[in-house]
Amino acid sequence: MRIVLGGVRGSSPQSHPDFMRFGGATSCVLVENGAGARIVLDAGTGLRTVLKDLAVSDAGMPVLMLFTHYHLDHLIGLPPFSPLYDPDWNVVFAAPIREGITVEVALKRLIGEPFWPAPFRASQRFEVLPETSDGAPFPYGPFTVRWCAVHHRNGCHAYRIDASGTGEAMAFVTDLEWAASDEKERADLLRLCRDPRPVDVLIMEGHGEAAQFAGWGHSLWKETVEVAKKVGVRQLVITHHAPDDDDRALVRREQEVQATMSNACLGYEGMRIVWNRGSPISITGRSVLTH
């Protein structure tokens, strides 16, 4: 399995030099198997980072795009994404219904007048996923996808992706307020990440480190570490960094995180995570620290 972090910023993108180390693009994660199967989780401005990995598509194995929720920082990369205007490009958009809104309705609103001037021309299919995957996972080529609801305003879902034949597993959990989650919400997420076995890689938000974020729908990094330890993951990657946290702040935070959990790090734009079942997890793509 290979994972590419297209964007790791939360709420709004940043383009100042003080944010170059970790990147300023908003949430987007690519999961692929190296043989044509590609799943995109969220489509923030980081979607552009993974453009070269997605430019080619075919009807036999269309790109699968999953959405955790429909807040703009997780969708805004879609309107200018050039493959969506290629009639030969194939994509499946999928998500559970949230507050009565399907993924098809959400995307049509996003690019509807007067907000965007051009309709998508790619071959598109929309899949409405059940509220949970307890009945059956969603199959996509060599992957199976599971999900559960997490605590966030307007609804949000966490996803787990398993490689069917080889056994690698990852989970993507963003826009979750762990402190405000009830017992069932916590149990559902832990079960998603643990069953049938603990995920190898957990990519989970740790929006900040101060109590000022209470009620915003986000978790503190210490809470994220707590979840990772409960699950027993091989690697924790913390993302969805607060928009005002510059490189200096995030470097200090990563040092604190690793003092608490050695197999943890902060995600950065362009990070590539590669492993086979039973092999060490390789993390590459780190930019040169200039501060």
Q: What are the structural domain ranges in the chain?
A: 2-280
What percentage of the chain reaches a pLDDT higher than 70?
A: 95
Longest CA span, the chain: 51
Residue identified by tokens 């030099």 is 17
Q: In this predicted model, which residue has the larger pLDDT, 230 or 178?
A: 230
Q: 217: alpha, beta or left, given left = phi > 0 and alpha = psi -120 to 50?
A: left
pLDDT score, position 92:
97
Once rounded to an integer, what is the mean pLDDT over residues 215-238? 90
Once rounded to an integer, what is the mean pLDDT over residues 223-236? 96
Eight-class DSSP state of 256: H
What is the Cα–Cα distance from 93 to 76, expressed in whole angstroms? 15
> Above 70 in pLDDT, residue 19?
yes
What is the Cα–Cα distance from 231 to 60, expressed in whole angstroms? 35
What is the Cα–Cα distance from 128 to 230, expressed in whole angstroms? 31
When pLDDT is cut at 50, 70 and 90, the band that residue 291 belongs to is very low
Topology of domain 2-280, per CATH?
Metallo-beta-lactamase; Chain A (3.60.15)
CA atoms within 13 A on the CB side of 139: 5
Find all residues with CB under 8 Å of 81, minimum gap 6, and list them.
43, 47, 48, 51
* Direct distance between the N- and C-terminal alpha carbons of the chain, in angstroms, rounded to an integer: 32
What is the Cα–Cα distance from 248 to 270, expressed in whole angstroms? 19
90: number of Cβ within 10 Å = 18
pLDDT score, position 204:
96
pLDDT score, position 257:
93
> Above 90 in pLDDT, residue 38?
yes
Residue identified by tokens 């938000």 is 205
pLDDT score, position 207:
74
Tokens of 149: 């609801």
Mean pLDDT of the chain: 91
> Above 90 in pLDDT, residue 197?
yes
Q: Which of 248, 258, 286, 241 is nearest to 8 (CA)?
A: 241
Q: Looking at this protein, which amino acid is placed at residue 101?
A: I
What is the Cα–Cα distance from 122 to 41, expressed in whole angstroms? 19
pLDDT tens track for 87-103 = 999 999 999 999 999 99
When pLDDT is cut at 50, 70 and 90, the band that residue 14 belongs to is confident
